[in-house]
Amino acid sequence: MRKPFVAGNWKMHGSKASILSLVTDLNSKISELGNVDVAVCPPAIYADFTKRTLSSERISVGAQNMASEPVQGAFTGEVSVEMLKDMGCEYVILGHSERRSIYGETDVEVAAKVKVALDAGVTPILCVGETLEERESGTMEQVIAAQLDAVLTVVGISGFNNTVIAYEPVWAIGTGVTASPEQAQEVHAFIRNKLAQLDATVADRVIIQYGGSVKPGNAKELFGQADIDGGLIGGASLDAEDFIAICKAAG
C-alpha cells in the first residue's frame, strides 16, 4: 500500500513574518494529520527558518530547485544539493513547469538534477505534464514519456525507488482549472504502466502526486483515484487551513 504524500510548493512567496505566521498555524494543526506524509517547500533561502519554526518532524522541508553541479564551486547564484541538505531539506522539486517554461530547463537538464539529488540522498519530486496545446494536439503521452525517458536514461528504473513523480498538467497550474479526477487518473495510470514495463515492483511503489489547482473542495475526489497518491499544492499551500484540509483528504 502506498502512503499518500502531500507537498506544498510555496513558489516565490513569503517573508520571515509571513512564514512565521503560516508555520505557527500549521504547527497548531499537525496533530490532525492522519496517514499521510507532508512536506512544505519554501524558497531555499527560508528553508532553515521554516525547518526551525516547524514544531515537529511530522512536516518535512523541501526546496523548489537546485544546481545541476554536484559540488560547490564557482557557480554564482546557484544553490547546491549539499547546501539544501545542510538547511534541512529532504526533498527537492525538479522540473516544475515554471522552471521548464520560464527558465528553459530541458528534459536532459532536469534529468541531470534528478541524479545529483538522488546521489546526495535528497528525494526529487519530479514534475511532468503537458501544455494545453500538447493535450489538444494529441501529443500528451509523448511529451510525458519523453520527460520520464530522459530521467530513466540517467538514473534507470531503480532511480524511481527514491523519486516522487508529480503529474502537473500545465494548463491546470495556478489557473483554477483542475483536471477532472478521470483525466488525472488516466495520465497517472499511463505513467505507472510505463514504469511497470521496466519494473512492476518499482511502478507499484512509486508515489505519483497530482498537482494543478487542488483545493479542499476537490482534493478528496482526486486523491480517491486508484493511481493518485496525494498532491503537489501551489496556491492552497499558502493557507494553513486549506493545506491541512488537503492533507487530511489524502490520508
**Which of the following is catalytic: 82, 96, 133, 241?**
96
User: Considering only residues 123, 213, 218, 225, which one is a binding residue for ligand PEP as defined by CB under 6 A?
Assistant: 213
Is 13 designated active site? no
Per the listing, cell 513547469 goes with 97
Instruction: Give the CB-side neighbour count of residue 215, counting CA atoms within 13 A.
Output: 12
Is 136 designated active site? no
Residues 230 and 36: beta-carbon distance below 8 Å: yes
Nearer to ligand PEP, 7 or 202 (CB): 7
- Distance in angstroms (rounded) separating the CA atoms of residues 220 and 205: 21
Residues 6 and 40: beta-carbon distance below 8 Å: no
The least CB distance from residue 166 to ligand PEP, in Å, is 7
Residue 169 found at the interface with ligand PEP (CB under 6 A): no
The least CB distance from residue 34 to ligand PEP, in Å, is 21
- Distance in angstroms (rounded) separating the CA atoms of residues 191 and 176: 24
The least CB distance from residue 42 to ligand PEP, in Å, is 14
Q: H or E stretch including 93?
A: strand 89-94
Residue 88 found at the interface with ligand PEP (CB under 6 A): no
User: Considering only residues 134, 168, 227, 242, which one is a binding residue for ligand PEP as defined by CB under 6 A?
Assistant: 168
Q: Which residue is nearest to ligand PEP (CB)?
A: 234
- Distance in angstroms (rounded) separating the CA atoms of residues 145 and 195: 10
Where on the chain is the footprint of ligand PEP (CB under 6 A)? 9, 168, 173-174, 211-214, 232-236
Could you give the residue numbers annotated as active site?
Answer: 96, 168
